[in-house]
Structure 1
Amino acid sequence: MARDRVDLWVDATVLPNLLAETSVEVRDRSGQLLRAYPVEDGLMRLGAAPHQVDQTYIDMLVAYEDQRFWQHSGVDFLALGRAAVQAVANGEIVSGGSTLTMQVARLLEDGSTGRWQGKLRQMRVALALERKLDKRQILALYLTHAPFGGNLEGVRAATLVWFGKEPGRLTPAQAAFLIALPQSPETRRPDRNRLNAQAARDRVLRRLIAEGVLSQETGAAAKTETVSAQRRAFPVLAAHMADRALQAAPDQRLHDLTVDAALQKSLEQLAARSLLGQEERLSVAMLVANHQTGEILASVGSAGYRDNDRRAGFVDMTQAIRSPGSTLKPLIYAMGFDEGLVHPQTLITDQPVRFGAYAPRNFDGHFRGEIKVAEALRQSLNIPVVLLADQLGPARVMAALRKTGAAPKLPTGTAGLAVVLGGVGLSMQDLVRIYAMQANQGRSVDLVWQQHRAQQPARRVISRAAAWQVGHILSSIAPPAGAPPNRLAYKTGTSYGHRDAWALGYDATHVAAVWFGRPDGTPVPGAFGGDLAAPVLFELFQHLKPALDPLGPPPPETLMLPTAELPQPLQRFRGRDAVFEKTPDTPKLAFPPDGARLAPLDGGLTVKVRDGVLPLSILANGVPLATGLHQREIDLAFDEKGASSLTVIDAKGRSDRVAIWVD
């Protein structure tokens, strides 16, 4: 009858909340903690299960606190009886007799340890807990709620702060310290009283040696370990991305990212070093992804997450909308290759040009005359790429950007030719998508930063051949001074007013981006992508891997020919809608005039040229008729009938062209 009443009493127990809030954890691809967020009142309470904790610590904890933990039903009446006898014999409490289950009951209810009413409540809750949970679940509650000084709850929080590691592997000395600390967490905190902490640890070791849990040798060695007084900070890696994860799913307790903690840490250190000696408002951002899988491996939103005053470190510059500068040029050329407008060996004109009111200029203000497309991309010339974009059309460029997964933002409602020189807003993540596509043989890459997230299917943006040709050109650009002479395919960019300095690059496996600028968008005088960002990009790849993965051979369909052997339409390009501006000394075809209709020729044509620098070359319908000319009136052997075009090119590569009709 009495037993039945006890059962009814236990069964009627109202249990405390067994699902107390634990810190939100953000973890890397291997489960390593990147960042943890405090719970109520700033407590850092990290959940812990027995399998996450060193078994030596578990065994020592049970031996010291509750030897019959695995056998009793929540209350160890033998231990309580022993405690009562000791209290009577000594006139004071020598041991409390509380089981680990009773301690869990007290921790869950934040109850008293000494008064008999509190002890009775702990016994009742402990008996009820044992009927609801198994032993390992009860042990997990202790490992999660035990206090370890200050705002620390749980053994994982303790080992991260006091030892700088997870509790999976602990020394006997560390285990003994963790057993002693919860008994008086404030007076035994090593950062406040290291001697008290060490003395308490040694008492635990002596008792476990006396009871045969530890050997004399192991215990003696453990006592020689010094208790460190250092309180380490919780890891704060990929802080901006962690904030994004929390914002996306605020009720989720665990967020598993694709980030690699070791790489993330090394790049955050690189970012901080890269700003040493720079002006105080300059910031930096970096992003690294595996373009074969789409996984983002590191994301550095700023050089210092808490550097709010000078550099607005709280702003995630991997997500900020900025001008891409010249970094879109490879995509424009790749589209031109696919459209059959140009080939890397096509000659294209670099001279003053105007599209209505828009007159682009090269960054250095100089013009190169006729130049091969590949060289125009290597030198990042503006006029050739605008000529090509004019043929493609800005709307098609915008469509290609969106096809990569990017979300371009226009300053006005309509896209113009200025888009290709940075007149569009893109985030760093958008740019990495574009370059990942180029690296991935022209197929779009859906970048992911959360593990187990479904990816969007790949879409064909440019052909395999165009992607290879662009990569081949970019990998032939000379590395910045002091960088290793590897074959990284990379491109730099500087936005209007020196507001953004970019460098993006890739090999056969990885793609990365580096940005420098001010988060508020104000100019940074003298900031160039080639000077600021490119050296850091090359150093980034050294942190990423010991050697680059080569891009590989061209696809079989790639057209590999010199200029002279290309089909005639591909040998030379000139935008049909461009109006080339004539400088005073630009060569001009004085005769025949543009649009002239000529009588049948008797095997010859006289051509007159004004201005230009000798020697001159004359072409008819793209075919050279005479070169190395040192006179301005030339008699040419020419008897073509119908429509023809005549072109003169001077020693500086400047040209003039007229259309004629021969009856």
Structure 2
Amino acid sequence: MSSSPDRRDPSRRAGRWLIGAALSLLMLAAGADAGRDRFDRWTDATPMPPLEVATGTQVLARDGSLLRGFQVGDGIWRLAPPESGVDPRFLQMLIAWEDRRFATHSGVDGRAVMRAALQAVWNGRIVSGASTLSMQTARLLERGPTADWQGKIRQARLAMALERQIGKDGVLALYLRLAPYGGNTEGVRAASLMWFGKEPARLTPAEAALLVALPQSPETRRPDLPTRRQAALSARNRVIDRAEAEGIIDAEAAASARNTPLPETRRPFPAHAALLADRLRRARPGDTVIRTTIDADLQRVTEALLSRAVTRYGSSLSAAAIIADHQSGEILAELGTAEYGSTPRDGFVDMTRALRSPGSTLKPFVYALGFDDGLIHPDTLIEDRPAAFGRWQPENFDLQFRGTVTIRRALQESLNIPVVRVAASIGPARIMAALRRAGMRVEMAGDTPGLAVVLGGAGVSLHDLVQGYAALAHGGRAVSLRDTPVPFDAAEKAPARLVSPAAAWQIGAILSQLPPPNGRQTGRIAYKTGTSYGHRDALAIGYDGRFVIGVWMGRADGTPVPGAFGGQLAAPILFDLFDAVGPESRKLPAPPPETIIAANPQLPASLRRFTAAGETSLARRSDGTVRDDPLTIAFPPDGAEIELMTENIPVRVRGGVPPFTWLLNGRPAAIATPDSATQIPGSPGMSELSVTDATGATRRARLRLIRP
């Protein structure tokens, strides 16, 4: 028994199938003309699949560019088109290639259907298709079979319903999200990022043509597979030919596009500020677009710098960095690990938020509080000699002692004994309270803070250290760092004051005179380095007139890095990052008017040499004999609350040797007064009062001044 002609000739069978589908579709069109109302009702009653196409979360830089995209729940790379849109030339090529009458048909192009059917019969094979962009979008939405004519009818009905419901622009937007590009990649944006490493807002003719050609057969036209490159090249060039014929590109552009090589590999999707993006996505699970304050260019430079830096020190070293604008609090670059995803470097651990020892980086805060309290001045002399604080006997990092030094030198050389002596007078609890006012979370082993905190005996994150230094850079007022824009209707809170502008300026002036690494210019950046016990953490934090930057280097698991010092590892990267900020960097500010700028001999006697808490300075007569009436503040008593009846408050001493110098909150209030009683100006709030006599003996009292 012989076979039928259709069974012997698959192309003829396909042609007959296509004619059947064509006649069915033409009957739909005829029915539409004969009975428009009934046809409209039938179209409107079309069962609609969900039109909300899930797209992966996008974390955007401040300029709207993509920092990192995420896959949708089923593992598909599908991203909404960029805010800047898709290259208009790509859209022109797409319509010219897929659906030239897209603007005029109602979802089904009857002329294209009949043409395709007649061509199939005449040639004995399928020469061209007849699916419109609307029908292709319907098929992509349904994700169902369309191999029979009933499937085509269903697809056509859905295409017409789509056009009636969401219009041409809506159909095109769905296609741009759903078009298949092979594997787990859908949509023109994901495809452009995968093949070209760029957004589809601006494409070359060759790039646009490839993105038009691939969805027709994405797996058989993969340009990254040698066996399929020729198919990809031929398909792309046919699109270029059509674009030239339609006048979308000229002959010269077409020739250049045909000679453009195809991409050879699939590119990884962007993963800048990857750990920050992870954190924001977890915090905002329902958001598909998350905007940040990150500067995309600065972020890429930061990632490149830190990646190069760690490669010099083996496979297990990691690094982290934060760059922020201390005027606005905006974080401009943040890198939690030097190599995201790296197992040897613990590339999934965010070292900007991990609690680590701050080393010596808390010392500036102690001295700033001492300046505010009138305990010290940058040129105050202090002893760097062996000392015991209870059972604790701290030592300097190099196990050496310098004898008598200035506070300035003690901070610049990061000496331990002087800062502990000052911290003992201020009190650990008050230091901790000040750090928390600056937005720093400091974790200790016990509930009660000890003096060891100031030498790194606590846990602080790099983020919080940078936030604390931002307060010093911002004139002593706390700065709240943020990585996302502030909503327009957000209420602004008055920032807390950490220290006075004068104290903050004095710290910056001291730190800016530290010799920079690699022979750079001194005085441009105030910075401090830190090295934790056992060389586990190397830190460098600095600021200029606008930016504050922090760098951490070490191993995420806390393993020591022998020989690692903050000044050697982290400081060079810190200055490289300041160089990367470029001309926007600003000079450090001038001193506030109330700042005491004087050499040690010109300072008030109480500020010439530091007297630690518990130490007694005996008043002596000119002949060297000891007076039996030591200096005492007779009024106001310590802890008093005084109503300000006028702008001045009365003060009085008992004993001591005149003249007397009075300071209120570290600022001179009355200098070298011969009498034991005088008046000094005051303002409401907690205040620290100190008096020094001619022998250098000093007494202090804390008081609260209130309005009646």
Shorter-chain TM band: 0.7 to 0.9
1:178 matched to 2:211? The reply is: yes
Contact 1:352–1:361 (Cα < 8 Å) also in 2: yes
Name which of structure 1's ranges 83-92 and 145-154 shifts more when overlaid on structure 2.
83-92
Partner of 2:469: 435
**Which of the residues 292, 301, 305 maps onto 1:257?**
292
Superimposed CA distance per residue, residues 601-629 of structure 1 (whole angstroms, 9 cap, x where no aligned partner): 995769xxxxxxxxxxxxx9899xxxxxx
Partner of 2:301: 266
Distance 1:605 1:556, change over 3 A: closer
Partner of 2:557: 520
Partner of 1:275: 310
Partner of 1:244: 279
Distance 1:622 1:537, change over 3 A: farther
Question: How far apart, CA to CA, are the structure 1 residues paired with 2:384 and 2:346?
Answer: 41
**Which of the residues 426, 434, 438 maps onto 1:404?**
438
Question: How far apart, CA to CA, are the structure 2 residues paired with 1:11 and 1:458?
Answer: 59
Contact 2:513–2:523 (Cα < 8 Å) also in 1: no
Partner of 1:64: 97
Partner of 1:346: 380
1:424 matched to 2:458? The reply is: yes
Distance 1:509 1:50, change over 3 A: closer
The letter of the residue matching 1:36 is G
Superimposed CA distance per residue, residues 301-331 of structure 1 (whole angstroms, 9 cap, x where no aligned partner): 11111111x2211100000001111101111
Distance 1:271 1:64, change over 3 A: same
For residue 251 of structure 1, report the CA deviation from its aligned partner: 1.7
The letter of the residue matching 1:366 is Q
Question: How far apart, CA to CA, are the structure 2 residues paired with 1:482 and 1:107?
Answer: 62
**Which of the residues 337, 345, 348 maps onto 1:302?**
337
Question: How far apart, CA to CA, are the structure 2 residues paired with 1:86 and 1:393?
Answer: 93
Contact 2:535–2:562 (Cα < 8 Å) also in 1: yes
TM-score for the superposition, normalised by structure 2: 0.80
Partner of 2:688: none
**Which of the residues 3, 7, 10 maps onto 2:43?**
10
For residue 198 of structure 1, report the CA deviation from its aligned partner: 0.9
Question: How far apart, CA to CA, are the structure 2 residues paired with 1:50 and 1:564?
Answer: 65
Question: For this pair of structures, how many residues does the alignment match?
Answer: 598
Point out where structure 2 has 5 or more consecutive residues left out of the alignment.
1-33, 627-655, 660-691, 698-708
Distance 1:502 1:213, change over 3 A: closer
Question: How far apart, CA to CA, are the structure 2 residues paired with 1:274 and 1:221?
Answer: 41
Superimposed CA distance per residue, residues 6-33 of structure 1 (whole angstroms, 9 cap, x where no aligned partner): 2222111111111121111111111111
**Which of the residues 371, 384, 387 maps onto 1:337?**
371
Partner of 2:429: 395
Partner of 1:555: 592
SS at match of 1:288: strand
Runs of 4+ displaced beyond 6 Å: 620-623, 643-647
Name which of structure 1's ranges 456-465 and 251-260 shifts more when overlaid on structure 2.
456-465
Superimposed CA distance per residue, residues 316-350 of structure 1 (whole angstroms, 9 cap, x where no aligned partner): 00000011111011111111111111111111111
Superimposed CA distance per residue, residues 157-191 of structure 1 (whole angstroms, 9 cap, x where no aligned partner): 11111111111111222221111111110111100
Name which of structure 1's ranges 324-333 and 352-361 shifts more when overlaid on structure 2.
352-361
Name which of structure 1's ranges 69-78 and 310-319 shifts more when overlaid on structure 2.
69-78
Distance 1:182 1:578, change over 3 A: farther
SS at match of 2:398: coil
Once the two structures are superposed, the pairs formed by residues 126-525 of structure 1 within 5 Å of their partners are 126-192=159-225, 193-308=228-343, 310-453=344-487, 454=490, 456-485=493-522, 487-525=524-562
Partner of 1:573: 610
**Which of the residues 96, 102, 124 maps onto 2:157?**
124
For residue 548 of structure 1, report the CA deviation from its aligned partner: 4.1
- The alignment's C-alpha RMSD in Å is 2.6
The letter of the residue matching 1:304 is E
Question: How far apart, CA to CA, are the structure 2 residues paired with 1:379 and 1:445?
Answer: 27
For residue 209 of structure 1, report the CA deviation from its aligned partner: 3.0
Question: How far apart, CA to CA, are the structure 2 residues paired with 1:602 and 1:509?
Answer: 52
Name which of structure 1's ranges 522-531 and 135-144 shifts more when overlaid on structure 2.
522-531
Superimposed CA distance per residue, residues 134-155 of structure 1 (whole angstroms, 9 cap, x where no aligned partner): 2112111111110112221111
The letter of the residue matching 1:479 is P
Distance 1:362 1:300, change over 3 A: same
TM-score for the superposition, normalised by structure 1: 0.86
Question: How far apart, CA to CA, are the structure 1 residues paired with 2:693 and 2:269?
Answer: 76
Name which of structure 1's ranges 453-462 and 535-544 shifts more when overlaid on structure 2.
453-462
SS at match of 1:327: coil
Distance 1:398 1:604, change over 3 A: closer
Question: How far apart, CA to CA, are the structure 2 residues paired with 1:146 and 1:562?
Answer: 74
Name which of structure 1's ranges 550-559 and 78-87 shifts more when overlaid on structure 2.
78-87
For residue 498 of structure 1, report the CA deviation from its aligned partner: 1.7
Contact 1:345–1:374 (Cα < 8 Å) also in 2: yes
Contact 1:483–1:539 (Cα < 8 Å) also in 2: no
The letter of the residue matching 1:242 is A
Contact 1:54–1:169 (Cα < 8 Å) also in 2: yes
Question: How far apart, CA to CA, are the structure 2 residues paired with 1:381 and 1:527?
Answer: 18
SS at match of 1:20: coil
For residue 646 of structure 1, report the CA deviation from its aligned partner: 9.0
Distance 1:84 1:294, change over 3 A: same
Question: How far apart, CA to CA, are the structure 2 residues paired with 1:10 and 1:236?
Answer: 44
For residue 222 of structure 1, report the CA deviation from its aligned partner: 2.0
Distance 1:622 1:83, change over 3 A: farther
Partner of 2:581: 544
Superimposed CA distance per residue, residues 15-52 of structure 1 (whole angstroms, 9 cap, x where no aligned partner): 11111211111111111111111124421011127961
Question: How far apart, CA to CA, are the structure 1 residues paired with 2:313 and 2:615?
Answer: 42
Question: How far apart, CA to CA, are the structure 2 residues paired with 1:232 and 1:49?
Answer: 18
Distance 1:212 1:488, change over 3 A: closer
Superimposed CA distance per residue, residues 638-661 of structure 1 (whole angstroms, 9 cap, x where no aligned partner): xxxxx99999xxxxxxxxx9xxxx
Name which of structure 1's ranges 254-263 and 465-474 shifts more when overlaid on structure 2.
254-263
SS at match of 2:586: coil
Contact 1:487–1:550 (Cα < 8 Å) also in 2: yes
Distance 1:186 1:603, change over 3 A: closer
Question: How far apart, CA to CA, are the structure 2 residues paired with 1:67 and 1:315?
Answer: 52
Superimposed CA distance per residue, residues 270-328 of structure 1 (whole angstroms, 9 cap, x where no aligned partner): 111111231443221111111111111111111111111x2211100000001111101
For residue 452 of structure 1, report the CA deviation from its aligned partner: 3.3
Partner of 1:36: 69
Question: How far apart, CA to CA, are the structure 2 residues paired with 1:645 and 1:51?
Answer: 73
Contact 1:44–1:157 (Cα < 8 Å) also in 2: yes
For residue 489 of structure 1, report the CA deviation from its aligned partner: 0.3
1:91 matched to 2:124? The reply is: yes
For residue 546 of structure 1, report the CA deviation from its aligned partner: 4.5
Contact 1:352–1:367 (Cα < 8 Å) also in 2: yes
For residue 359 of structure 1, report the CA deviation from its aligned partner: 1.5
Contact 1:50–1:136 (Cα < 8 Å) also in 2: no
The letter of the residue matching 1:525 is P
SS at match of 2:180: coil
Distance 1:450 1:644, change over 3 A: closer
Question: How far apart, CA to CA, are the structure 2 residues paired with 1:319 and 1:604?
Answer: 58
Identity %: 53
Point out where structure 1 has 5 or more consecutive residues left out of the alignment.
580-593, 607-619, 624-642, 648-656, 658-663
Contact 2:82–2:189 (Cα < 8 Å) also in 1: no
